[in-house]
Amino acid sequence: MLPYPRIDPEIFRVGPLAVRWYGLMYLLGFLAAYFLARYQLRERGLKKLYPVLENVLFWGGVGLIVGARLGHVLLYYPGYYLKNPLEIFAVWHGGMSFHGGLIGAVVAGWLYARRHRLSFFWWADLLVVTVPIGLGLGRLGNFINGELFGRPTDVPWAMIFPAGGPVPRHPSQLYEALGEGLVLFLVLWSVRRKPWASGTKLALFMVLYGLIRFFIEFFREPDLGVSLLFGWMTRGQVFCVLMVVLGGLLFWIRRGRKEGPYLSG
């Protein structure tokens, strides 16, 4: 068994304001997406689109944060937050749903693209290959917070998490950081220059993320108070199945449709 490294979730505090590792991971994820997207535009000789990228990323980021929090509130614990509405704004306590964040980012990005005559799927493909960096960093933030830990196990690398009782558990946050973060990034980044139809890289992300997350959920402790479907399938796995199905449909619908950064006509 490995000792759990007790890292203070707060990096430093100035009066009532605290800088936390969890928030820093979100910031680093956005910065990584920004600079990697700029790199892709430079590869394509499209430096003139840097200002557009900044606007797309800003509004997509707003949608992601709002959607991630609302997804956690509405999809997982609506009863608790109905009784404690002020806790909805306490994002520093953790509690961000990836699936809600994806929905929020897609909705905000689509609305912005529609208003400015941009190709939503072209920009989605550009940005989605950078997303796993933020996912991996976010899981490291969960690990530091000691949350979203794994199920009990006797593997040699098991850890005892402060909030998980005296039982050794899978460090499932690290599994997710590796699978949804590093591995998924390497796959998507390797195909970033493929001249595929617009939207198919987004579809590939949805399918691969759904499959990876579905598998790793077997090692992660189910969310407290959230019922299991069929007695074994977690809420996260249900959403992952939907992601895989929707990703497959998107791939089929978008096949052969190539677009530039702006809509024609």
pLDDT at residue 82, rounded to an integer: 82
Is a pLDDT exceeding 60 seen at residue 132? yes
Q: Is 139 annotated as a binding residue?
A: yes
CB contact at 8 A, 168 and 120:
no
Tokens representing residue 208 in the block: 């691969």
DSSP state letter for 227: P
Give the model's confidence band at 92: pLDDT under 50 very low, under 70 low, under 90 confident, else very high. low
Give the model's confidence band at 265: pLDDT under 50 very low, under 70 low, under 90 confident, else very high. low
DSSP state letter for 261: S
Residue carrying the six token digits 């199945």: 241
Print burial letters for 77-105: b (CB count within 10 Å at least 16), e (below 16).
beeebeeeeeebeebeebbbbbbbbbbbb
pLDDT at residue 80, rounded to an integer: 80
pLDDT tens digit sequence for 32-84: 999 999 999 999 999 999 999 999 999 999 999 899 888 888 877 887 888 88
Category of 199 on φ-ψ map: left (φ > 0), alpha (ψ -120 to 50) or beta:
left
Is a pLDDT exceeding 80 seen at residue 183? yes
pLDDT tens digit sequence for 223-241: 876 778 888 899 899 999 9
Task: Output the pTM of the full model.
Answer: 0.91
User: Which residues have C-beta within 8 Å of that of residue 44, sequence separation ≥ 6?
Assistant: none
| Alpha-carbon distances of 174 from 1, 6, 54, 214, rounded to whole Å | 15, 15, 31, 15
- Mean confidence (pLDDT) of the chain: 92
Residue carrying the six token digits 């614990």: 77
Distance of alpha carbon 136 from alpha carbon 214, whole angstroms: 16
